[in-house]
Amino acid sequence: MSKFLKSAAVAVAITLIAAPAFAGKFGLGRAALPAEIAAWDGDISPDGTGLPVGSGDALIGEEIFADQCAACHGDFAEGIGNWPKLAGGADTLNYDDPLKTVGSYWPHLTTAFDYIKRSMPYGNAGSLSDDEVYAIVAYILYSNDLVEDDFVLSNETFFDVEMPNAGGFIIDDRAETEYALWTGEPCMVNCKDEVVVTMRALVLDVTPDQDEAAEEEVTESTEAKVEALAADVIDAELAAAGAKVFKKCKSCHQIGDSAKNRTGPILTGIVNGTAGAVDGFRYSKPLKAAADGGLVWTKAELGAFLAKPRAYLKGTKMSFSGLKKEADQLAIIEYLRSFEK
């Protein structure tokens, strides 16, 4: 048979196979058995149906998280680059740019377990044991101040954890209550003659400043804050701005009279304090070496560290990428200054 006839025969065969009469009749495989379907079914419902037997705590979870998750989500679940943050965001859901994490937004803890078990770690999904997943979820809860580090999360204690946003969702009834309002022909009358930019994407920090006068005003304002920092008097306005910036740190650090060490040390009295001096906290070797060398957290040293922690102190356990804006650095230092020992 010539090459042309062979090609024609193949084309006819493909056409016949693709015809509706042959749909679903390729003779390949077999119907899945109920036991096989059950083995593949890993769904976990909000009421706990499907949770496997197992347990783990945050101390074990921290080690597993460091090996399996920290490359994307940071050592403290604070996120790296565009990879999502898993901790923090408490009380931000009413902000223009809320931080939605497991601790601030997710209503069901089963969602975290189901997703991690099914899809993580990235590139090696499904490789974690049930006990490892329990431990990782416990560490994420601990990073969100929802449990203590010795809390054992298991299928039996799972619902002892209260998710802050458990009541923050409602039934989606738009199909019954709103869809009818959106049907019909579009209006297309009385349209505006031109499009005018009415808001700027300040939250995303992507809108370039085009107003030179505004730039000068910001520069003068920053310089004024620098002068205020040079004095011993606390700038209340700047400290209040720093309190907002500190929300990025709360998942790891506490401050104030009742503060406790978490994945990061307490920060009470840190400004102008000796580095590595918090009792009971296990510092990294690079930080201990810097402390032995006489490092004092002056405003200048703190500013440099906050800008790029890993560049300032290579090997630091703090994987937070840093505060890029000088105004944020100044504000958070002033906030820290307001808490003395």
Distance CA 134, CA 161 (A): 13
The whole-number pLDDT of residue 69 equals: 93
- Average pLDDT for residues 248-269, to the nearest whole number? 85
The whole-number pLDDT of residue 230 equals: 52
The whole-number pLDDT of residue 5 equals: 45
90 against 133, higher pLDDT: 133
224 closest CA partner among 203, 241, 211: 241
With a cut of 70, say whether residue 184 has pLDDT above it: yes
Q: What percent of the chain has pLDDT over 70?
A: 82
The whole-number pLDDT of residue 227 equals: 57
The whole-number pLDDT of residue 286 equals: 87
Query: What angle separates helix 326-337 from helix 236-245, to the nearest 10 degrees?
Result: 110
- Please indicate, yes or no, whether residues 57 and 156 belong to a single structural domain of this protein: yes
Domain count, the chain: 3
Instruction: Tell me if residue 154 falls in helix, strand or coil.
Output: strand
- Please indicate, yes or no, whether residues 18 and 86 belong to a single structural domain of this protein: no
Instruction: Tell me if residue 80 falls in helix, strand or coil.
Output: coil
| Residue labelled with tokens 């783990």 | 56
- Please indicate, yes or no, whether residues 58 and 149 belong to a single structural domain of this protein: yes
Does the residue 31 lie in any domain? Answer: yes
| Residue labelled with tokens 């496997």 | 52
Does the residue 104 lie in any domain? Answer: yes
Q: What percent of the chain has pLDDT over 90?
A: 39
Distance CA 264, CA 317 (A): 9
- Average pLDDT for residues 265-293, to the nearest whole number? 90
Residues 150 and 59: beta-carbon distance below 8 Å = yes
Q: Which domain holds residue 149?
A: 51-160
Does the residue 144 lie in any domain? Answer: yes
Instruction: Tell me if residue 209 falls in helix, strand or coil.
Output: coil
Distance CA 313, CA 46 (A): 43
The radius of gyration of the chain's CA atoms, rounded to the nearest angstrom, is: 28
- Tell me, letter by letter, the H, E, C secondary structure of 54-78: CEEEHHHHHHHHHHHCHHHHCCCCC
- Average pLDDT for residues 130-134, to the nearest whole number? 97
- Digit-coded pLDDT (tens) for 148-159: 989 999 999 999
Find the CATH number of the domain harbouring 56: 1.10.760.10
Query: What angle separates helix 326-337 from helix 299-307, to the nearest 10 degrees?
Result: 130
57: β partners: 152
The whole-number pLDDT of residue 228 equals: 52
Residues 85 and 99: beta-carbon distance below 8 Å = yes
Does the residue 174 lie in any domain? Answer: no
Range of weakest confidence among 161-170, 195-204, 299-308: 195-204
The whole-number pLDDT of residue 211 equals: 46
Domain boundary among 110, 128, 160: 160
